[in-house]
A and B are shown apart, each in its own frame.
Chain A
């Protein structure tokens, strides 16, 4: 019962936030809506017993990435005239149709799936459990990701700095 209520609450918040991102004309508004959406998603993750991921979602996604976004938006400091209005070109219409089509496809496919009942231990999704997984089966991707982050840092510095 609780689960259902929480699920619906978090879902509506998540989808609403997403809609806000897409519809907002001012990027700041869109960023805030996205933050809200991420929080709701963190809640959904918790409902799925993914404790570590929920925490990481808030810490990294909203705490770091969205902060970065907001910094950049403030840096660019776009005025309303520069923001302008969106026009619906044929390309955009085609893309929109494709998006709707893809969504419909996915939704119908997902609804058709049959899931067997699954029970989990208390250890599922905890830091220790996921950490074990990371350091055994996913060691290589883990190490590669560190390199990736290094490359990203360097890249960002180089691209954004202008003159070194």
Chain B
């Protein structure tokens, strides 16, 4: 790449595509809209590839621009491609392209076809801005942009009130996270006067964690304390965007959108933005080991919690949604133990196989004419052969029964968790490993349950009996993703004796953070590779989950789940209703807020403004006019004269005094 300004075209092409599809969509016709949208993303992918190749072998590419400058604050609009953002670029544009192609088939009959592609292109453009930004404010622009597109696409079929409100829920919950993000940016600006990643990294490289700040907003604080606060505020944003506890509740509802949307946004790209943010700010988090501990706990807790909920879900997309939440928990856990590279590794592999899982489920739903309840499926392995094979590869990848991509990325995380040290709570690494392993067992179980209910056995409904395979536009992307799901394991090689390839590759990015952490309260794992024992345990756990699922849903104990559910109704209902988290939020947070809003409305809006200010001012004017001004003009000349006389006398007094 010789001209850094060419970077601008990477987000610009999809944005222009969105503009064209949005403005001229109906007139262009379906074929042209497909072409424009897919070409835009393909072009972005080509440029991203060029950029990646350049930075893989050489220095990072930067392109600087100013957005605005006010006083001493200077906010740029520059772009940065280094190894980290280069990888993300490939993921976003590559998988984005595949999903665009898939969508041409999936959305072929939808009346809002052009609108869908406009939004999808807009999403890709925003995500690229997020990845390419060289400062936090521009990143936030992309952050908000993807949030907006998520809202637009979840509520795509807006005439259905439930779907529209799911979109709204996503946006509102994300807003809470964005609040944390915003505060963190302000604090950072107050602390360092800049929001550019490189500038902040440079400042931190010169600083010591225990140093005392003696001016500005954080006067009297230790640097590490201030950065811990900032980091925790960022974490609030991450829990919103990356669907962790406590703000994950929007993701399952987001399944109301079209399935390719779930694949792209809620599996591969948008939800990973939180993980990307934390990795981008690794040098900052390295100064806040307490925050990292919190992050690790959130990640592990989310992983197991979501996995448990997935056990009892009957909607195929809901299972995958909770699976996504759970897998994101793994990535967050990786960040929390200082293994940033492992988080990125899992991000990449997860993007591939989760997108494939969603696309596959889309094919299933498409083939069944819209049915999403797994209890109505069955026996689709024979009828949707192509889809079933691809789906099978993805399931193997996520559960880790065979050593392909997902196995290595998940074990990199688990190994990093076990090998790390935490001086706040020395038992924590082991606990995190245990929880992670339990979640892995759960993952294997619910994924093979999904497979058994969907593809194995006998069809349980007429729709399943007459299911048909999807067109090529939908199966070819599946194949590509399946291929990728297998080969991305290479990033985790070699296994023993040397550092994994990806770790070395990303060392220039995360090296500073890792070094800082090694001497702090949270020390990342420093062994080279993961010991064989851990791999053995992981495989055993995966097979255990598979075996349990097979036994309960395909094998001898086929009626047991139903009998268990009947035997422990409260337990079953608890899980099936997602531990009533939504209901708790509704009662504890939403209802009081509504009540407050209603009270304020009655008090301030109706009472103060409408009554006192608007009608009151009118009343005052009317009363003054009626009782003061009107009598002055009753035609009585002497009254007029009296008024004049009083005025004249007053004037006289004023002049003569």
Contacts and interface: CB of A to CB of B under 8 A. Distances in A.
On whether A and B touch (CB less than 8 Å), the answer reads yes
Interface of A: 89, 91-92, 94-95, 98-99, 101-102, 105-106, 109
Given A92-B638, A95-B642, A102-B648, 5 more contacts: A89-B638, A91-B638, A98-B646, A105-B653, A106-B652
Interface of B: 636, 638-639, 641-642, 645-646, 648-649, 652-653, 656
Nearest to A94: B642
Contacts of A92: 638, 642
A98 B646 CA distance: 5
11 contacts: A89-B636, A91-B636, A91-B639, A92-B642, A94-B645, A94-B646, A95-B638, A95-B641, A98-B645, A105-B652, A106-B656
Contacts of B636: 89, 91
B639 A102 contact: no
A91 B652 CA distance: 20
B645 A95 contact: yes
Contacts of B653: 101, 105
A102 B638 contact: no
Nearest to A103: B649
A99 B645 contact: yes
Nearest to B638: A91
A112 to B, nearest CB: 10
B196 to A, nearest CB: 75
Shortest Cβ-Cβ A-B pairs, 10 listed: A95-B642, A91-B639, A98-B645, A102-B649, A91-B642, A94-B642, A98-B649, A98-B646, A109-B656, A101-B649
Nearest to A100: B649
B194 to A, nearest CB: 72
Nearest to B634: A91
B642 A102 contact: no
A109 B657 CA distance: 8
Contacts of B648: 98, 102
A101 B645 CA distance: 10
A105 B636 CA distance: 27
Nearest to A99: B645
A98 B652 CA distance: 11
A156 B656 CA distance: 38
A60 to B, nearest CB: 27
A101 B646 CA distance: 9
Contacts of A109: 656
A73 B218 CA distance: 94
B635 to A, nearest CB: 11
B198 to A, nearest CB: 81
Contacts of B638: 89, 91-92, 95
A44 B357 CA distance: 120
A95, A101, A109: most-surrounded residue (chain B CB, <10 A)? A95
Contacts of B646: 94-95, 98
A92 B636 CA distance: 10
Nearest to B646: A98
A101 B652 CA distance: 10
Contacts of A101: 649, 653
A94, A98, A101, A102: most-surrounded residue (chain B CB, <10 A)? A98
Contacts of B652: 102, 105-106
Given A91-B636, A105-B649, A98 B656 contact: no
B630 to A, nearest CB: 14
A144 B332 CA distance: 100
A144 B173 CA distance: 86
Nearest to A112: B656
B559 to A, nearest CB: 100
B646 to A, nearest CB: 5
B609 to A, nearest CB: 39
Nearest to A92: B638
B641, B642, B646, B648: most-surrounded residue (chain A CB, <10 A)? B642
B648, B649, B656: most-surrounded residue (chain A CB, <10 A)? B649
A95 B638 CA distance: 8
A102 B644 CA distance: 12
A74 B656 CA distance: 42
Nearest to A97: B646
Contacts of B656: 105-106, 109
B653 to A, nearest CB: 6
A105 B646 CA distance: 13
A106 B648 CA distance: 12
Contacts of A91: 636, 638-639, 642
B638 to A, nearest CB: 5
A66 to B, nearest CB: 23
A113 to B, nearest CB: 11
A90 to B, nearest CB: 8
Contacts of B645: 94-95, 98-99, 102
Nearest to A96: B642
Contacts of B642: 91-92, 94-95, 98
A101 B641 CA distance: 15
A89, A91, A99, A102: most-surrounded residue (chain B CB, <10 A)? A91
Nearest to B632: A91
A105 B655 CA distance: 11
Contacts of A99: 645
Nearest to A101: B649
